[in-house]
Structure 1
Amino acid sequence: MQIKDVTNYLEKLAPLSYAEDFDNVGLLVGNYNTEVTGVLVTLDTLEKTVDEAIEKNCNLIISFHPIIFSGLKRLNGNNYVERVVLKAIQNNIAIYAIHTALDNVKQGVSGKMCEVLGLQNPKTLIPKKGTIKKLTTYVPNNNAEKLRNKLFEAGAGNIGNYDNCSFNTTGIGSFKGSDDSNPSLGKKGEQVFAEETCITVTYDSFRESTILKTLFNNHPYEEVAYEIITLNNKNQNIGMGMIGELPKELNEKEFLNFIKETFKTDCIRHSELLQKSIKKVAVLGGSGSFAINAAIKANADAYISADFKYHEFFKAEKKILLLDVGHYESEQFTKNLLVDYLNKKISTFAIILSEESTNPIYYI
């Protein structure tokens, strides 16, 4: 199995097109055609991570955070980023980063937080725009059913809990082929009026190349008329953060102790206690201060994330309990998520959970 086979599985879970524009995801070091000997899964790629990969005969590191975030102008080993990249290249080890692509999928980082907390009925906190597209095409009535079914098979027509969704109207299409044409209906130079079906389907943006290939391969016309529009509709299955409900209400002290135990930390920074029960909980792995207002708007009793600045705690405004559990702590379960997923897909070589802690923050 080659690296591209492994990354294809990962991109079915978390398409790279779902990553934020500022991010740097995908294969950062290495060649997609390299044969894989083993995979090491980690939150961060440090020098000791590369050493661990060497020791365990893994030539592919799957890292949540990208080791190369901004452009590298030189590779002299003058900082930890350059040293990691140099060591990986020298030892023929590839590095793949998934980061916000995994943040933005329902089964991703925040979804895993919901799972470990036992949150029920989890939903996306900030649904993402621009990930749904609409295809409209025109096909002879006799070919409409076949084409429509092929588009469904390719993943078009999925809306939330429903699939095989489309809108169809019939009408009359017209065309006249030039001397260089090869029309499937009528003859060159002949004006043709054909009974056609207009088929409209929506699809996730990452499927576009597959959808278009299916359209062209199954449409009878030499020149396929089609339109693609990017919709502003929010995608309820894609986006940052999640929100769900605890199985039973907890008072604030019980809730804080539960979070300390679950996230394996003795230190939680939190906003003022409000002397109310906690039932509805919003979560977002990593730096999540940008979603405080979204959590309040969603009527969450508490919001768990990381990297809140001093003044951001004032945003609670006695409406919500804000918990900063730490960046590493909020994302610590991501490694397990990826290992469990890949183990279900691949059995030809080892998928290893890194034993090294890459948390750069210590508490006294």
Structure 2
Amino acid sequence: MPMLTVAQVVDFLESVAPLRLAEDWDNVGLLVGSLERRVRKIMTCLTLTERVAGEAVEREAGLVVTHHPLPFRPQRRWTTETLAGKVLWDLAAARICVYSPHTAFDSASRGINQVLAEKIGLQDIRPLIPNAETPELGVGRQGTLPVETSLLEFAQLVKNALGIKYTRLAGSPRTQIRRLAVGCGAAEDLLEPAAEAGCQAFVIGEARFHKCIEAEFRGMGLLMVGHYASERFAMEHLAGMLQEQFPQVEVWAASAEADPIRWV
């Protein structure tokens, strides 16, 4: 099977999600390995766990594209006594490279927030906080629904779109909404910009208790679909994009990955 270099894959990934879109605090790009490494298999995932890393090793991936960076923060030592140390030790031993687009992919033109906004049926979609250099790109998304609906009815629509059984809701279920914002993952800092943009609701991965109270104070509905549900679909989407771009190699989204949070 023909192979390509990590550098070729990185060039494509950075055309999809330019790293200049990443937040200053983030750790993006090639995190482990060599640009010269030749690969014939690529795996995408939301988060590198021991189970997901095991799948990469077992199926002989040459490159893992993970949304959440590993490492995320500087580490003083790498040992198998920590999750990050164990995962990276196993991947390095198998010569598997690791790349993360993280917040650059969140804000990209075909990134997570854009696709999420489209999945839940928003129209007139645009960034919630436009990028200074490229206004059509930026952090979060905002848009309108085709018709006004209640927060409770919209919650059911979102569950159907994301294929989930449950979501958390803050605010009155009877609130009528038309304009809303989207922020994947833990994007609670976007609550204020969403309110300033006139959004009546905000779809988010997760938010802390006091942010729910703040949303209620502002008269906004807050729909918390879960961190995993708000982002995992995009890594499956990215696997499809990579497979289309590089048909000579095998690309897949990690099958061992699952939401670590359960409703009981």
Give the TM-score normalised by structure 1.
0.68
- Does the 8 Å contact 1:104/1:239 carry over to 2? yes
- Does the 8 Å contact 2:5/2:35 carry over to 1? yes
- Does the 8 Å contact 2:195/2:218 carry over to 1? no
Give aligned pairs, total.
Answer: 260
SS state at 1:28 partner: strand
Q: Which amino acid aligns with 2:118?
A: E
Q: Which amino acid aligns with 1:351?
A: V
- Does the 8 Å contact 2:44/2:239 carry over to 1? yes
Q: Tell whether 2:177 aligns with 1:285.
A: no
Q: Give the counterpart of 2:45 among 42, 50, 68.
A: 42
- Does the 8 Å contact 2:171/2:219 carry over to 1? no
Unaligned runs of 5+ in 2: none
Q: Tell whether 2:252 aligns with 1:352.
A: yes
State the match for 1:363 in structure 2: 263
Deviation at 1:274, TM superposition (A): 6.0
SS state at 1:290 partner: helix
State the match for 1:296 in structure 2: 195
Unaligned runs of 5+ in 1: 133-234
State the match for 1:72 in structure 2: 75
SS state at 2:39 partner: coil
Q: Which amino acid aligns with 2:187?
A: G
What is the alpha-carbon distance in structure 1 between the residues aligned to residue 205 and residue 139 of structure 2?
A: 14
What is the alpha-carbon distance in structure 2 between the residues aligned to residue 353 and residue 53 of structure 1?
A: 10
Alignment of 1:150-229 (within 5 A): none
- Does the 8 Å contact 1:289/1:312 carry over to 2? yes
Q: Tell whether 2:256 aligns with 1:325.
A: no
Q: Which amino acid aligns with 2:35?
A: Y
Q: Tell whether 2:159 aligns with 1:260.
A: yes
- Cα offsets for 1:63-112 (capped at 9, x unmatched): 00012011122222111100000000111111111101111223211001
What is the alpha-carbon distance in structure 2 between the residues aligned to residue 251 and residue 115 of structure 1?
A: 19
- Does the 8 Å contact 2:150/2:173 carry over to 1? no
Please identify which structure carries the higher strand content: 1
Deviation at 1:346, TM superposition (A): 1.1
- Does the 8 Å contact 2:46/2:67 carry over to 1? yes
Q: Which amino acid aligns with 1:57?
A: E
Q: Tell whether 2:86 aligns with 1:83.
A: yes
- Cα offsets for 1:191-243 (capped at 9, x unmatched): xxxxxxxxxxxxxxxxxxxxxxxxxxxxxxxxxxxxxxxxxxxx322221101
State the match for 1:160 in structure 2: none
What is the alpha-carbon distance in structure 2 between the residues aligned to residue 63 and residue 341 of structure 1?
A: 15
Q: Which amino acid aligns with 2:98?
A: I
Deviation at 1:343, TM superposition (A): 2.2
Q: Tell whether 2:204 aligns with 1:305.
A: yes
Q: Give the counterpart of 1:116 among 110, 114, 119.
A: 119
What is the alpha-carbon distance in structure 1 between the residues aligned to residue 96 and residue 64 of structure 2?
A: 7
What is the RMSD of the two structures over their aligned residues, measured on CA atoms?
1.6
- Does the 8 Å contact 2:152/2:173 carry over to 1? no
Q: Which amino acid aligns with 1:323?
A: L
Deviation at 1:319, TM superposition (A): 2.6
- Does the 8 Å contact 2:185/2:228 carry over to 1? yes
Q: Which amino acid aligns with 1:339?
A: A
* Sequence identity (%): 29
State the match for 2:25 in structure 1: 22
Deviation at 1:118, TM superposition (A): 2.1
- Does the 8 Å contact 2:142/2:182 carry over to 1? yes
Q: Tell whether 2:131 aligns with 1:128.
A: yes
Q: Which amino acid aligns with 2:192?
A: N
Q: Tell whether 2:235 aligns with 1:335.
A: yes
Q: Which amino acid aligns with 1:12?
A: S
What is the alpha-carbon distance in structure 2 between the residues aligned to residue 311 and residue 75 of structure 1?
A: 35
- Which structure has the bigger radius of gyration? 1
Deviation at 1:286, TM superposition (A): 0.7
What is the alpha-carbon distance in structure 2 between the residues aligned to residue 90 and residue 3 of structure 1?
A: 17
What is the alpha-carbon distance in structure 2 between the residues aligned to residue 74 and residue 100 of structure 1?
A: 26
What is the alpha-carbon distance in structure 2 between the residues aligned to residue 299 and residue 361 of structure 1?
A: 32
